[in-house]
Amino acid sequence: MPLDGFTDWLRAVERDLNPAAKMAHFLSQEFPNAWPDPWQIEAITSDAQTVATLICRQAGKSSVLATRGVIELERGGTVICLAPASRQTMEITRKVAQYLKCTDLVVERATQTEIETNNGGRFIAVPASGATIRGYTADLLLVDEMAYLPGHNAGEDVVVALLPMLKDDGQTFYASTPAGKNNMFAQLFLDAKPDDGIHRIKVPGTSIPRLHARVERLRKQLSATRFKQEVECQFLTDGQAYFDLSVIEAATSTKGAICPKL
């Protein structure tokens, strides 16, 4: 029917004008009525040079990175994607390939780690090794599960090798759940300086209504420490702290403490 064609055209225009509608279209392949959460919209529309997202498990971090990657591919840009394990970068590459089916772009070449589109766009997933990732020039850097990158200071060498590849008007996206305080991702949040140009977005799972049932299940299944880290996004002293912080806090509180605070 002609009216159906008109509706489809209007929806396509909406997606071109509104990144949230675009991401909803991508997500709808898996979940027909999905709409991005406010933090996801804030991330994909940010024009900060660096966007750092500290978000709970399974909240849609990789979906945000893949969406931002596709938006860059639509501009004909080059996207470099990094994660601790090649399995994780391949998963984002798979998401990007899936989302590209919702766009007008034609994929000219695709492997598990690389996609080339007909407008010159390139998506390249690189291994988490500083020695082997030199030689590209990127419009967008995507770093997933940054707190878990291998090596000194959780991937500092790799990230330092990546940053010079970014064009001056390019953008870097970091995403992770926390993993202790001794890593570059934690420093991004704990050592924040005013006007450092980093757009920080922190969203614990308890603030995402769509995750309510899962959060309550995890509250029962995880230790209190793990819940604080994985769901509430807290940077704990160490990713594998032996004692629960609440135990330490209780033991050193001013009331009835074993080791009272002085």
| Residue numbers at the binding site for Mg ion (CB under 5 A) | 61-62
Distance of closest approach, residue 206 Cβ to Mg ion, in angstroms? 19
Amino acid, single-letter form, for residue 43: A
Minimal distance, residue 34 CB to ligand ATP, in Å: 4
Compare residues 37 and 72 and give the one whose CB is closer to ligand ATP. Answer: 37
- Least Å distance between CB 57 and ligand ATP? 4
Query: Shortest approach of Mg ion to residue 180 CB, angstroms?
Result: 19
The partner in contact with residue 239, picked from ligand ATP, Mg ion, none with C-beta cut-offs of 5 to 8 angstroms by kind, is: none
The distance of closest approach from Cβ of residue 60 to ligand ATP in the complex, given in angstroms and rounded to an integer, is 3
Largest CA distance in the chain: 78
With respect to ligand ATP, which residue has the nearer C-beta, 35 or 136? Answer: 35
Cα–Cα distance measured from residue 213 to residue 154, given in angstroms and rounded to the nearest whole number = 32
Q: Which of ligand ATP, Mg ion, none has residue 171 at its interface (CB below 5 to 8 Å by kind)?
A: none
Residue number with CB closer to ligand ATP (37 or 157): 37
Distance CA 69, CA 175 (A): 13
* Shortest reach from residue 153's CB to Mg ion, in Å: 21
Which of ligand ATP, Mg ion, none interacts with 212 (beta carbon under 5 to 8 A by kind)? Answer: none
Q: In what order do the strands lie in the sheet with 166-176?
A: 107-110, 114-117, 122-126, 78-82, 138-143, 166-176, 50-55, 198-203
Residue 78 or 176: the one with the smaller Cβ distance to ligand ATP is 176
Reported as type and span, the H/E element at residue 202 is strand 198-203
Residue 228 interacting entry, from Mg ion, ligand ATP, none, C-beta within 5 to 8 Å by type: none
Distance of alpha carbon 214 from the chain centroid: 19
DSSP assignment of 32-70, as one string? TT----HHHHHHHT---SEEEEEE-TTSSHHHHHHHHHH
The residues binding ligand ATP (CB under 6 A) are 27, 30-31, 34, 36-37, 40, 57-63, 210
Under 8 Å between Cβ of 122 and 136: no
Tell me whether residue 161 or residue 188 sits nearer to ligand ATP (CB atom). Answer: 188
Q: Which of 24, 55, 23 is nearest to 39 (CA)?
A: 55
